[in-house]
Amino acid sequence: MIDGGLDYDKTVETNKIVFKGQTYQKVTSYIFILIMVSWALGVSYYTFIYQINNSPTTMDYFMTVLFIVVIFALVCYEIRVLLTRNKLKQFEINIGLSLAKTRLLEAAGNLNWELYSNFDHYMIFRTENIFFVDCQTITLIIFPNDIIYFHSINFPNDYLRPSLFDNNYEKLLNEFQKCEKG
């Protein structure tokens, strides 16, 4: 997906990261959502039917409803993660664009992130990942309106992203602000 290249025009248009050949990933995400919702409905239905057939008490109803609510809360959280994982985060720059690129390279170097690709409109960095070797990739997309758009994906396993995205965003933002002042 990364090697196929970033679809820069669609990324700018939608404010979401879009790679060429990303259709397979979208289809598998929607299939996964369908499976999760079907499973949650099935488990909830059979749990409720089982409780009704065994002369339930008020506590049985309460526990069943609580179990169903927890299942659907977890499913809704995962669906939200899958549907919003390609959104870009941004931070503003107070210096020129060419100087910002230099400062980004410096900040990434201070964080020991390896430069993967460097183009006119965006840069891709490979970061350290404690759990999976060569899995985490940080993508920085620089637009000409003095805003840096940030996106972090885990390649090839993008389902690990939520736990590391915010950490990488905060690390880079803090380091960039240090380099910007210096």
pLDDT digits (tens, 9 = 90+) for 91-129: 777 777 778 888 888 888 888 888 887 877 788 887 765
**Residue 38: pLDDT above 80?**
yes
Report the top-level CATH class of 88-181. Answer: alpha beta
Is there a contact between 137 and 153 (Cβ–Cβ < 8 Å)? yes
Q: What is the 3-state secondary structure (H, E, C) of the chain?
A: CCCCCECHHHHHHHCECCECCCHHHHHHHHHHHHHHHHHHHHHHHHHHHHHHHCCCCHHHHHHHHHHHHHHHHHHHHHHHHHHHCCECEEEECCCCHHHHHHHHHHHHHHCCCEEEEECCCEEEEECCCCCCCCCEEEEEEEECCCEEEEEEEECCCHHHHHHHHHHHHHHHHHHHHHHHHC
Mean pLDDT of 4-24: 74
pTM of the full predicted structure? Answer: 0.65
> For the residues 145-149, what does the mean pLDDT come to?
76
Q: pLDDT tier at 157 (50, 70, 90 boundaries)?
A: low
- In this prediction, residue 1 carries a pLDDT of 47
At 15, is the pLDDT very low, low, confident or very high (cuts 50, 70, 90)? confident
- Average pLDDT of the segment spanning 123-138: 65
Domain boundaries, the chain: 23-84, 88-181
Most confident of 6-15, 66-75, 170-179: 66-75
User: Which tens digit of pLDDT belongs to each residue from 163-177?
Assistant: 567 777 788 888 888
Report percent pLDDT > 90 for the chain.
10
pLDDT of residue 155: 58
The rounded distance, in Å, linking the Cα atoms of 45 and 43 is: 6
Closest CA relative to residue 113, chosen from 123, 127, 99 = 127
**So what's the pLDDT on residue 39?**
92
169 or 36, greater pLDDT? 36
